[in-house]
Amino acid sequence: MNIQKVDSLHVPNLEAKLSYSGLDSWMNFINKMYGNPVHRFVVNDGEQPVGALSLLEVKHPVFGHYLATAPFGSYGGFAYENEQARDLLLDEARRLAEELKVEYVSLRFDDTASTPPEGWVNHPVYFTYLIDLSAPADELMKRFSSDHRNHIRKSMKKGFSIRFGHLDLLDDAYEALALSMHELGSPYHSKQYLRQMAESLGDTLQFAVTYDAHGRITGGGVFIFQGETIFNLHANVLRFARPAYAGEFLYWSVIEHAIKKGCKTFDLGRSLVGSGNDVFKSKWAPEKKPLAYWFLLAPGHEVPSLNQKNPKFQLIIATWKLLPRFIVRPLGPFAIRGLV
Protein backbone atom coordinates (compact mmCIF):
# COMPACT_ATOMS: atom_id res chain seq x y z
CA MET A 1 0.00 0.00 0.00
CA ASN A 2 1.47 3.36 -1.01
CA ILE A 3 0.47 7.03 -0.97
CA GLN A 4 1.17 9.64 -3.60
CA LYS A 5 0.41 13.30 -4.18
CA VAL A 6 -1.63 13.81 -7.35
CA ASP A 7 -2.83 16.70 -9.47
CA SER A 8 -6.28 15.19 -10.00
CA LEU A 9 -8.46 12.64 -8.20
CA HIS A 10 -9.77 9.83 -10.41
CA VAL A 11 -11.26 7.46 -7.84
CA PRO A 12 -14.72 6.32 -9.02
CA ASN A 13 -15.04 3.77 -6.22
CA LEU A 14 -14.60 6.51 -3.59
CA GLU A 15 -16.52 9.38 -5.19
CA ALA A 16 -19.70 8.87 -3.14
CA LYS A 17 -17.69 9.02 0.11
CA LEU A 18 -15.71 12.02 -1.10
CA SER A 19 -19.01 13.82 -1.79
CA TYR A 20 -19.23 16.57 -4.40
CA SER A 21 -17.12 18.89 -2.21
CA GLY A 22 -14.07 16.64 -2.48
CA LEU A 23 -14.14 16.10 -6.22
CA ASP A 24 -12.00 17.93 -8.77
CA SER A 25 -14.92 19.92 -10.17
CA TRP A 26 -15.55 21.53 -6.78
CA MET A 27 -11.96 21.98 -5.62
CA ASN A 28 -10.89 23.40 -8.98
CA PHE A 29 -13.80 25.84 -8.86
CA ILE A 30 -12.73 27.12 -5.40
CA ASN A 31 -9.13 27.37 -6.57
CA LYS A 32 -10.16 29.35 -9.65
CA MET A 33 -12.47 31.62 -7.66
CA TYR A 34 -10.29 32.41 -4.64
CA GLY A 35 -6.83 31.18 -5.62
CA ASN A 36 -6.43 28.70 -2.75
CA PRO A 37 -3.88 25.93 -3.37
CA VAL A 38 -5.30 22.39 -3.45
CA HIS A 39 -3.37 19.39 -2.11
CA ARG A 40 -4.57 15.94 -3.22
CA PHE A 41 -3.41 12.50 -2.09
CA VAL A 42 -4.36 8.96 -3.09
CA VAL A 43 -3.58 5.67 -1.35
CA ASN A 44 -3.28 2.70 -3.70
CA ASP A 45 -3.33 -0.99 -2.90
CA GLY A 46 -1.76 -2.30 -6.04
CA GLU A 47 -3.78 -0.71 -8.84
CA GLN A 48 -6.84 -0.05 -6.68
CA PRO A 49 -7.38 3.32 -4.93
CA VAL A 50 -8.38 2.65 -1.31
CA GLY A 51 -8.10 6.14 0.13
CA ALA A 52 -8.20 9.78 -0.97
CA LEU A 53 -7.74 13.17 0.63
CA SER A 54 -8.32 16.60 -0.90
CA LEU A 55 -7.24 19.59 1.20
CA LEU A 56 -7.67 23.30 0.50
CA GLU A 57 -5.07 25.66 1.92
CA VAL A 58 -6.53 28.85 3.39
CA LYS A 59 -4.41 31.87 4.27
CA HIS A 60 -6.49 34.78 5.56
CA PRO A 61 -5.39 37.88 7.53
CA VAL A 62 -8.32 37.53 9.94
CA PHE A 63 -9.15 33.83 10.12
CA GLY A 64 -5.67 32.38 9.89
CA HIS A 65 -3.68 29.81 7.95
CA TYR A 66 -5.11 26.30 7.86
CA LEU A 67 -5.93 23.25 5.74
CA ALA A 68 -9.49 21.97 5.34
CA THR A 69 -11.51 19.41 3.45
CA ALA A 70 -14.93 20.23 1.99
CA PRO A 71 -14.52 24.01 1.55
CA PHE A 72 -17.93 25.72 1.86
CA GLY A 73 -19.48 22.25 2.23
CA SER A 74 -20.75 20.08 5.06
CA TYR A 75 -18.39 17.14 4.59
CA GLY A 76 -16.35 15.27 2.00
CA GLY A 77 -12.85 15.17 0.60
CA PHE A 78 -11.61 12.44 2.97
CA ALA A 79 -12.47 8.83 2.19
CA TYR A 80 -10.91 5.45 2.88
CA GLU A 81 -11.76 1.77 2.66
CA ASN A 82 -9.72 0.58 5.65
CA GLU A 83 -7.89 1.89 8.69
CA GLN A 84 -4.44 1.47 7.16
CA ALA A 85 -5.37 3.76 4.26
CA ARG A 86 -6.91 6.23 6.70
CA ASP A 87 -3.76 6.41 8.79
CA LEU A 88 -1.52 6.89 5.75
CA LEU A 89 -3.66 9.88 4.75
CA LEU A 90 -3.61 11.31 8.28
CA ASP A 91 0.18 10.99 8.42
CA GLU A 92 0.46 12.78 5.08
CA ALA A 93 -1.84 15.56 6.31
CA ARG A 94 0.38 15.95 9.38
CA ARG A 95 3.54 16.19 7.26
CA LEU A 96 1.93 18.77 4.99
CA ALA A 97 0.75 20.81 7.98
CA GLU A 98 4.27 20.88 9.42
CA GLU A 99 5.76 21.77 6.04
CA LEU A 100 3.34 24.67 5.50
CA LYS A 101 3.38 25.71 9.19
CA VAL A 102 -0.41 25.95 9.36
CA GLU A 103 -2.34 26.54 12.58
CA TYR A 104 -4.54 23.47 12.17
CA VAL A 105 -5.95 20.86 9.80
CA SER A 106 -9.72 20.37 9.63
CA LEU A 107 -11.15 17.10 8.25
CA ARG A 108 -14.92 17.05 7.75
CA PHE A 109 -16.48 13.70 7.01
CA ASP A 110 -19.42 11.53 7.96
CA ASP A 111 -17.78 8.52 9.65
CA THR A 112 -18.72 9.13 13.29
CA ALA A 113 -18.09 5.48 14.19
CA SER A 114 -14.32 5.96 13.99
CA THR A 115 -12.25 7.25 16.89
CA PRO A 116 -9.55 9.75 15.92
CA PRO A 117 -5.99 8.49 16.43
CA GLU A 118 -3.55 10.11 18.81
CA GLY A 119 -2.89 13.76 18.04
CA TRP A 120 -6.28 14.35 16.39
CA VAL A 121 -9.28 15.89 18.19
CA ASN A 122 -12.92 15.22 17.30
CA HIS A 123 -15.21 18.25 17.63
CA PRO A 124 -18.74 17.01 16.71
CA VAL A 125 -20.86 20.17 16.77
CA TYR A 126 -22.74 19.68 13.48
CA PHE A 127 -25.49 17.40 12.22
CA THR A 128 -26.50 16.75 8.67
CA TYR A 129 -30.08 15.71 7.92
CA LEU A 130 -31.00 12.98 5.44
CA ILE A 131 -34.59 12.70 4.17
CA ASP A 132 -35.55 9.39 2.57
CA LEU A 133 -37.25 10.20 -0.74
CA SER A 134 -37.93 6.61 -1.81
CA ALA A 135 -41.66 6.91 -1.03
CA PRO A 136 -44.14 9.13 -2.93
CA ALA A 137 -44.54 12.68 -1.65
CA ASP A 138 -47.94 12.02 -0.05
CA GLU A 139 -46.49 9.10 1.91
CA LEU A 140 -43.56 11.23 3.03
CA MET A 141 -45.97 13.90 4.28
CA LYS A 142 -47.48 11.37 6.71
CA ARG A 143 -44.16 11.09 8.57
CA PHE A 144 -44.32 14.72 9.69
CA SER A 145 -46.06 16.00 12.80
CA SER A 146 -49.59 17.32 12.38
CA ASP A 147 -48.35 20.88 13.06
CA HIS A 148 -45.69 20.61 10.39
CA ARG A 149 -48.14 19.19 7.84
CA ASN A 150 -50.49 22.06 8.65
CA HIS A 151 -47.73 24.64 8.10
CA ILE A 152 -46.82 23.12 4.73
CA ARG A 153 -50.47 23.18 3.61
CA LYS A 154 -50.85 26.78 4.76
CA SER A 155 -47.76 27.76 2.77
CA MET A 156 -49.33 26.29 -0.37
CA LYS A 157 -52.27 28.70 -0.03
CA LYS A 158 -50.21 31.91 0.30
CA GLY A 159 -49.68 32.46 -3.41
CA PHE A 160 -45.99 31.47 -3.41
CA SER A 161 -44.38 30.13 -6.57
CA ILE A 162 -41.01 28.56 -7.29
CA ARG A 163 -38.68 28.44 -10.27
CA PHE A 164 -35.83 25.99 -10.87
CA GLY A 165 -33.05 26.80 -13.29
CA HIS A 166 -29.40 27.39 -14.00
CA LEU A 167 -27.71 30.59 -15.19
CA ASP A 168 -31.12 31.93 -16.23
CA LEU A 169 -31.89 32.27 -12.50
CA LEU A 170 -28.49 33.61 -11.45
CA ASP A 171 -29.59 37.19 -10.72
CA ASP A 172 -32.61 36.24 -8.62
CA ALA A 173 -30.78 33.44 -6.80
CA TYR A 174 -27.99 35.82 -5.85
CA GLU A 175 -30.45 38.45 -4.61
CA ALA A 176 -32.30 35.89 -2.50
CA LEU A 177 -29.16 34.52 -0.88
CA ALA A 178 -27.25 37.78 -0.47
CA LEU A 179 -30.27 39.53 1.10
CA SER A 180 -31.11 36.68 3.45
CA MET A 181 -27.50 36.25 4.60
CA HIS A 182 -27.30 40.00 5.25
CA GLU A 183 -30.41 39.72 7.42
CA LEU A 184 -28.70 36.95 9.38
CA GLY A 185 -25.59 39.06 9.91
CA SER A 186 -23.36 36.86 7.78
CA PRO A 187 -21.13 37.70 4.81
CA TYR A 188 -21.82 36.11 1.46
CA HIS A 189 -20.01 35.46 -1.80
CA SER A 190 -20.18 37.59 -4.93
CA LYS A 191 -22.52 36.91 -7.82
CA GLN A 192 -19.45 35.82 -9.77
CA TYR A 193 -18.96 33.02 -7.23
CA LEU A 194 -22.41 31.60 -8.04
CA ARG A 195 -21.82 32.07 -11.77
CA GLN A 196 -18.47 30.28 -11.64
CA MET A 197 -19.98 27.50 -9.54
CA ALA A 198 -22.81 26.96 -12.01
CA GLU A 199 -20.42 26.94 -14.95
CA SER A 200 -18.04 24.52 -13.22
CA LEU A 201 -20.67 22.04 -12.03
CA GLY A 202 -22.92 22.22 -15.08
CA ASP A 203 -26.19 20.29 -14.97
CA THR A 204 -25.42 18.84 -11.53
CA LEU A 205 -26.32 22.25 -10.03
CA GLN A 206 -29.71 23.92 -9.91
CA PHE A 207 -30.82 27.23 -8.46
CA ALA A 208 -34.27 27.56 -6.93
CA VAL A 209 -36.00 30.88 -6.25
CA THR A 210 -39.37 31.46 -4.56
CA TYR A 211 -41.68 34.44 -5.08
CA ASP A 212 -44.79 35.76 -3.36
CA ALA A 213 -48.10 36.55 -5.05
CA HIS A 214 -46.77 40.02 -5.98
CA GLY A 215 -43.65 38.66 -7.66
CA ARG A 216 -41.27 39.62 -4.84
CA ILE A 217 -38.37 37.29 -4.12
CA THR A 218 -39.01 35.45 -0.85
CA GLY A 219 -36.11 33.00 -0.78
CA GLY A 220 -33.86 30.74 -2.75
CA GLY A 221 -31.31 27.98 -2.72
CA VAL A 222 -28.47 26.20 -4.45
CA PHE A 223 -28.86 22.44 -4.88
CA ILE A 224 -26.33 19.91 -6.14
CA PHE A 225 -27.14 16.47 -7.54
CA GLN A 226 -24.73 13.56 -7.12
CA GLY A 227 -25.91 10.06 -7.90
CA GLU A 228 -29.33 9.63 -6.28
CA THR A 229 -28.74 12.37 -3.70
CA ILE A 230 -29.71 16.03 -3.81
CA PHE A 231 -27.56 18.24 -1.56
CA ASN A 232 -28.73 21.53 -0.09
CA LEU A 233 -25.74 23.83 -0.37
CA HIS A 234 -27.49 27.09 0.54
CA ALA A 235 -31.18 27.69 1.21
CA ASN A 236 -32.70 30.72 2.94
CA VAL A 237 -35.90 32.74 3.03
CA LEU A 238 -36.26 36.45 3.67
CA ARG A 239 -37.49 37.65 7.03
CA PHE A 240 -40.71 39.24 5.79
CA ALA A 241 -41.86 35.92 4.28
CA ARG A 242 -41.17 33.63 7.24
CA PRO A 243 -44.50 34.19 9.05
CA ALA A 244 -46.27 32.90 5.92
CA TYR A 245 -44.20 29.68 6.08
CA ALA A 246 -42.06 30.51 3.06
CA GLY A 247 -39.39 28.13 4.36
CA GLU A 248 -41.85 25.24 4.42
CA PHE A 249 -42.94 26.10 0.88
CA LEU A 250 -39.34 26.17 -0.37
CA TYR A 251 -38.31 22.87 1.18
CA TRP A 252 -41.49 21.00 0.25
CA SER A 253 -41.26 22.25 -3.34
CA VAL A 254 -37.66 21.04 -3.55
CA ILE A 255 -38.66 17.65 -2.11
CA GLU A 256 -41.38 17.21 -4.75
CA HIS A 257 -38.96 18.33 -7.47
CA ALA A 258 -36.26 15.91 -6.29
CA ILE A 259 -38.66 12.96 -6.16
CA LYS A 260 -39.73 13.67 -9.75
CA LYS A 261 -36.05 13.67 -10.77
CA GLY A 262 -35.59 10.23 -9.22
CA CYS A 263 -33.57 11.23 -6.15
CA LYS A 264 -33.66 8.84 -3.20
CA THR A 265 -32.07 11.08 -0.55
CA PHE A 266 -32.27 14.78 0.28
CA ASP A 267 -29.26 15.92 2.31
CA LEU A 268 -30.38 19.14 3.99
CA GLY A 269 -26.82 20.19 4.83
CA ARG A 270 -25.12 20.84 8.12
CA SER A 271 -26.43 22.86 11.05
CA LEU A 272 -25.05 23.55 14.49
CA VAL A 273 -26.45 21.38 17.24
CA GLY A 274 -29.18 23.33 19.08
CA SER A 275 -29.42 26.09 16.48
CA GLY A 276 -32.63 27.41 14.91
CA ASN A 277 -31.73 25.61 11.68
CA ASP A 278 -31.31 22.39 13.63
CA VAL A 279 -34.85 22.76 14.97
CA PHE A 280 -36.30 23.61 11.54
CA LYS A 281 -34.59 20.76 9.69
CA SER A 282 -35.57 18.27 12.38
CA LYS A 283 -39.23 18.91 11.52
CA TRP A 284 -38.80 17.06 8.22
CA ALA A 285 -38.42 13.64 9.91
CA PRO A 286 -34.85 13.16 8.70
CA GLU A 287 -32.14 10.81 9.84
CA LYS A 288 -30.02 13.18 11.93
CA LYS A 289 -26.43 12.22 11.31
CA PRO A 290 -23.65 13.69 13.49
CA LEU A 291 -20.63 14.71 11.44
CA ALA A 292 -17.05 13.83 12.39
CA TYR A 293 -14.93 16.97 12.42
CA TRP A 294 -11.34 16.03 13.24
CA PHE A 295 -8.68 18.64 13.97
CA LEU A 296 -4.91 18.45 14.09
CA LEU A 297 -3.70 21.46 16.08
CA ALA A 298 -0.30 23.13 15.94
CA PRO A 299 1.25 23.79 19.39
CA GLY A 300 -0.45 26.70 21.14
CA HIS A 301 -3.63 26.59 19.05
CA GLU A 302 -7.15 25.60 20.09
CA VAL A 303 -10.01 24.06 18.12
CA PRO A 304 -11.39 26.94 16.01
CA SER A 305 -14.95 28.10 16.49
CA LEU A 306 -15.73 29.87 13.23
CA ASN A 307 -19.51 29.93 13.59
CA GLN A 308 -22.33 32.19 14.71
CA LYS A 309 -22.41 30.77 18.25
CA ASN A 310 -18.95 32.08 19.07
CA PRO A 311 -19.43 34.95 21.58
CA LYS A 312 -16.55 36.81 19.92
CA PHE A 313 -18.64 37.20 16.76
CA GLN A 314 -21.86 38.49 18.34
CA LEU A 315 -21.00 42.20 18.06
CA ILE A 316 -19.72 41.74 14.50
CA ILE A 317 -22.93 39.92 13.50
CA ALA A 318 -25.12 42.63 15.04
CA THR A 319 -23.11 45.36 13.29
CA TRP A 320 -23.13 43.55 9.94
CA LYS A 321 -26.93 43.44 9.97
CA LEU A 322 -27.02 47.24 10.27
CA LEU A 323 -24.54 48.02 7.51
CA PRO A 324 -25.94 49.13 4.14
CA ARG A 325 -25.91 46.82 1.17
CA PHE A 326 -23.28 48.80 -0.73
CA ILE A 327 -20.80 48.03 2.05
CA VAL A 328 -21.55 44.39 2.86
CA ARG A 329 -21.65 43.14 -0.72
CA PRO A 330 -18.07 44.06 -1.66
CA LEU A 331 -16.73 43.16 1.80
CA GLY A 332 -18.59 39.85 2.03
CA PRO A 333 -16.38 37.85 -0.40
CA PHE A 334 -13.22 39.05 1.37
CA ALA A 335 -14.54 37.88 4.75
CA ILE A 336 -16.11 34.60 3.68
CA ARG A 337 -13.09 33.36 1.74
CA GLY A 338 -11.46 32.75 5.13
CA LEU A 339 -14.44 30.82 6.53
CA VAL A 340 -14.36 27.70 4.39
pLDDT one-digit tens code per residue, 230-289: 999 999 999 999 999 999 999 999 999 999 999 999 999 999 998 999 999 999 999 999
- C-alpha distance across the termini of the chain, in Å: 32
Helices (H), the chain: 15-18, 24-34, 83-100, 137-141, 146-155, 170-184, 191-201, 246-260, 276-282, 314-322, 325-336
Structural fold of domain 2-124+291-304: Aminopeptidase (3.40.630)
pLDDT category at 113 given cuts 50, 70, 90 is low
Distances (CA, A) of 268 to 51, 140, 281, 323, 324: 26, 15, 7, 30, 30
Q: What's 125's DSSP letter?
A: -
Cα torsion 43, 45, 50, 54 to 10°: value is 10
Where in the chain are all domains bearing CATH 3.40.630.30? 128-289
**pLDDT tens sequence across 160-200:** 999 999 999 999 999 999 999 999 999 999 999 999 999 99
- Residue 108's φ and ψ, nearest 5 degrees, are -115, 115
Cα–Cα distance between 67 and 301 in angstroms, integer?
14
Total-model pTM: 0.94
Query: Which of 3.30.1340.10, 3.40.630.30, 3.40.50.150, 3.90.340.10 would CATH assign to domain 128-289?
Result: 3.40.630.30
Give the whole-number percent of the chain exceeding pLDDT 90: 89
